[in-house]
Amino acid sequence: MNIAVLGAGALGSLFGGYLARTGHRVTLIGRNNAHMQAVRERGLKITGVRGAHQVTENLQAVWEPSAVRDVDVLILSVKASDTEQALESVSHLVGRVQTVMSLQNTLVKDSLLIATFGSEATLGASTIEGAAMPAPGHVHNTITVPTTLYLGEHGGETTARLTALAEAFNATGLGTRAVPCIKQVQWEKLAQICLTNAFSVPALAGLPRASMQDAQALREGAESYAELARELLGVYGGLGYAPEDFFAPLSRLKELVGLEHEAAVELLLARAVARLRDVKPGPPIRSSLFGDLERGRRTEVMQIFTPFLEEAGRQGRDVGALRAAYRNIRVMEALAMRDGGLNQRGGA
């Protein structure tokens, strides 16, 4: 297949690199920066959970979207706030691309794709794969799970392109599953990352050596996590869904359903202690939102939290803990952007 990745940051480059490595012709579309220059000159270095690879074949890097003409598949991997501008930059591909899909975290991404490319071209997708960029031309695959990518037609049917794309991604080592319920997967993934950020960002800001498990192993931390999970699962259940732990073992929401608060706290404490026994040396893995705060960049906090806050309002549910976490992160975002990142301004 001829594939273009619009938004060649860490995640977009990772997916593009794996696809190129298995023989697909891949064009990375990104900013004119050191990373893209390095890919042009030396190819893409991939390290991490699937080993080390240097991808030089079937891979090109461009920073002018107009340079991409005819492609079979367009993968969107830009920051949520950049979506409309990014889609405008590839409007010349409307009617010339067979399939367009998004790796973003938002729930509105597919409606924006449909508005630009039409419903027949748009395929639903959701992934938990994690990546970072240690240096230009180098992406590090930080996180994966057995099934890390879900694809689905919005009508729920199984089509030839759905089957072909699932096979193509599976061939790269990215465990992929075609499902009839892609909207549920997207809601549950959003619940998972909303919970992770709502708990970890306020708890761990300014603590570079502390992990989410460290915070959750404290009773107050487990109590906070349990309350946030109760609110999010209430909204998710109000949509008519029950947790499926699509991204297990990272996703472990099913075991919290129906538990009283104290039982949930005890479960979370035991779970955190068990994970700390198996922790590997090195800095703790943080969410991409946390990374944006540390660098003083605009985050996706609005796109991650707002769907649950608005849906809670429609359902008449009290989500005070979630709303407080959202407000705290918005304050951090504003001040981190002003100061150039978390912990960038020293005291007297």
Out of 79, 109, 183, 189, the active site residue is: 189
Cis preceding linkage at 249, omega within 30: yes
CB 43 within 8 A of CB 59: yes
DSSP string, 83-110: HHHHHHHTGGGTTTEEEEEE--S-SSHH
Active site residue 45: no
> d(Cα 209, Cα 204) in Å, to the nearest integer?
9
Instruction: Supply 131's token pair.
Output: 């990546």
Which strands sit side by side in the sheet containing 44-48, from one edge to the other?
53-55, 44-48, 138-143, 130-135
Residue 175, amino acid: G
> d(Cα 338, Cα 342) in Å, to the nearest integer?
10
Residue 244's beta-bridge partner residues?
none
CB 162 within 8 A of CB 151: yes
**Distances 213 to 272, 274, 277, 286 between C-alpha atoms, Å:** 5, 9, 10, 12
Q: What number of residues does the chain have?
A: 348
| Kind of pairing between the strands at 176-178 and 138-143 | unpaired
Residues 6+ apart with CB under 8 A from 324: none
Alpha helices in the chain (DSSP H): 10-21, 34-42, 83-89, 109-117, 160-172, 182-204, 212-216, 219-238, 261-277, 288-295, 301-315, 320-339
Residues identified as active-site: 189
